[in-house]
């Protein structure tokens, strides 16, 4: 079976820092793949390379069997790959519904994108999309008045408005209060599964990874050091030492 996304031999160094040092990864259609690893391991760099924000110095990336390296981020979106960022990219002075309508409109031509709020079809689609994310009650609220969990969901709803087949998410739960984290992820996973969207997400919370990932890829110094189902990977002593141990220590330091 052809992988939905196939990355081969990706290399990218910033000076002496090897952010990608020979990354090979197949993402299977329909799966939810978690990327874990210590700070600076190259996780965001991978997302940036797949989405056209960074160009590797060597390697290949194919989406549905078609090479995408060197294409612009906008072109890559049009082929069916969307992303969300660690910090949500919302227009803060606009309402949640206006943000979603803008995202729906951005699928169209330049002209439809600059007058999206006049178009009832965009608003209707945006409204339906927000409903799927449980955000209908917040549709009229300004984006800067949302709590972090709702802001993250709204940001991901905007990415989904682009109708991707693959969605890459950089730390979808970072900054979300522990008490609401699982509910946010449950909503997110339900919507993605219903839409049949393949997902790759960078995640530091191992409870989220254990519960929602089909497979886990471990990043270490620009390379994938382990890849497999969560039950295997999260029990791997090297992963516990190099990745999970670091998180536990950081938590302890923060609490001290």
Binding site for ligand ATP (CB under 6 A): 14, 17, 19, 37, 39-45, 219
223: Cα separation from own chain's centroid: 19
β-pair partners for 200: 33, 168
In the complex, what is the shortest distance from the CB of residue 46 to ligand ATP, in angstroms, rounded to a whole number? 7
CB 68, CB 62: distance < 8 Å: yes
Nearer to ligand ATP, 212 or 219 (CB): 219
Nearer to ligand ATP, 39 or 179 (CB): 39
Nearer to ligand ATP, 20 or 101 (CB): 20
Strand order in the sheet with 166-170: 81-84, 166-170, 198-202, 32-36, 215-220, 223-228
Nearer to ligand ATP, 15 or 237 (CB): 15
In the complex, what is the shortest distance from the CB of residue 153 to ligand ATP, in angstroms, rounded to a whole number? 21
Closest listed residue to residue 40, CA positions, set 254, 199, 243, 234: 243
Name the phi and psi angles at 157, rounded to 5. Answer: -60, -40
In the complex, what is the shortest distance from the CB of residue 205 to ligand ATP, in angstroms, rounded to a whole number? 12
Q: DSSP class of residue 67?
A: E
């Amino acid at each position: 079976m052809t992988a939905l996304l196939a990355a081969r031999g990706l290399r990218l160094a910033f000076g002496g820092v090897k952010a990608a040092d020979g990354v090979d990864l197949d993402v299977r259609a329909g799966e939810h793949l978690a990327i874990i690893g210590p700070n600076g391991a190259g996780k965001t760099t991978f997302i940036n390379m797949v989405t056209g924000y960074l160009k590797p110095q060597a390697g290949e990336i194919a989406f549905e069997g078609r090479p995408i390296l060197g294409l612009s981020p906008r072109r890559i979106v049009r082929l069916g790959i969307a992303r969300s960022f660690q910090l949500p990219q919302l227009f803060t002075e606009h309402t949640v519904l206006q943000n979603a309508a803008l995202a729906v409109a951005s699928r169209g031509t330049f002209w439809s994108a600059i007058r999206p709020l006049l178009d009832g079809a965009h608003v209707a689609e945006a409204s339906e999309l927000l409903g799927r994310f449980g955000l209908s009650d917040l549709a009229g609220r300004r984006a800067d008045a949302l709590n972090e969990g709702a802001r993250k969901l709204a940001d991901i709803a905007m990415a989904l408005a682009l109708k991707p087949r693959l969605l890459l998410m950089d730390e979808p739960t970072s900054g979300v209060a522990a008490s609401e984290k699982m509910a946010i992820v449950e909503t997110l996973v339900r919507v993605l599964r219903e839409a049949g969207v393949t997902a790759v997400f960078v995640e530091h919370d191992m409870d989220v990874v254990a519960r929602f990932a089909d497979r886990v890829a471990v990043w270490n110094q620009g390379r994938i050091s382990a890849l497999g189902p969560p039950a295997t990977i999260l029990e791997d002593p090297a992963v516990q030492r190099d990745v999970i141990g670091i998180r536990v220590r950081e938590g302890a330091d923060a609490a001290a």
